Amino acid sequence: MAAAPSTRRGAARHSELFDALIDLLLAEGFAHLTLDDVAARLRCSKRTLYALAGSKEQLVRAAVVHFFERATERVEAAVAARTDPEARLAAYLRAVADELAPASARFVDDMAAFPPAAEVYARNTAAAARRVGELIVEAVAAGAFRRDVPVSFAAEVITATMVGIQQRRVAAATGLGDAEAYEALAALLLHGLARG
């Protein structure tokens, strides 16, 4: 049975609001914003926001979850569009960089300082590291990457770097934003693992 038109409109409005909220948070961060600020910027009522989440903290966490779900879908679509194993890994890391590119330093800093959002970022970073490991295994099995570099070692280095990006250590040490750091990681990996 198909959903009623009002239910579909409600779901579409819910998704539109989350997308607009994500755009706002990515551009400006969230620690300084009140629910009144958010409602005014999204041109909706606080009641509408409370329908999405019961508090500002829950709203921010839900928006961060939505951001990473949306990003994961687009990253995986970029990988699926490639067949060459080396190109699949490059597409993955570059798509992650593209997804993080709109995130202002303020947003990333706010996310790191807010435990519920930091936990979501950490969980997604761990999933991304696992996915990169899978893509490396595919590429080694296909003969696209060197066999003399242990996959477990490469995966550990990648994981440590991704966690360093997520925890803002890479930004502090290098001045690179998260998206720039993922671009640099992609270049390093592809050149380091490629067959000579």
Report the 3 state secondary structure along the chain: CCCCHHHHHHHHHHHHHHHHHHHHHHHHCCCCCCHHHHHHHHCCCHHHHHHHCCCHHHHHHHHHHHHHHHHHHHHHHHHHCCCCHHHHHHHHHHHHHHHHCCCCHHHHHHHHHCHHHHHHHHHHHHHHHHHHHHHHHHHHHCCCECCCCCHHHHHHHHHHHHHHHHCCHHHHHHCCCHHHHHHHHHHHHHHHHECC
Q: What is the pLDDT of residues 58-78, one digit of tens each?
A: 999 999 999 999 999 999 999
Give residue 107's pLDDT.
93
139: tokens are: 């590429």
Burial degree of 49 (CB within 10 A; 0-12, 13-18, 19+): buried
CA atoms within 13 A on the CB side of 37: 10
Q: Is the pLDDT of residue 35 over 70?
A: yes
Domains of the chain, CATH where assigned: 5-193 (1.10.357.10)
Q: Is the pLDDT of residue 38 over 90?
A: yes
Q: What CA–CA distance (Å, rounded) separates 128 from 117?
A: 16
Count the Cβ atoms, other than its own, within 10 Å of residue 58: 13
Dmax (CA) of the chain? 60
Q: Is the pLDDT of residue 80 over 60?
A: yes
Q: What is the pLDDT of residues 83-132, one digit of tens each?
A: 998 889 889 988 988 888 898 989 989 998 999 999 998 899 889 888 98
* Measured torsion, CA atoms of residues 23, 25, 28, 32, in degrees rounded to the nearest 10: 150
Q: What is the pTM (predicted TM-score) of this model? A: 0.81
- The mean pLDDT of the chain is 86
Give residue 110's pLDDT.
94
Of residues 161 and 12, more confidence is placed in 161
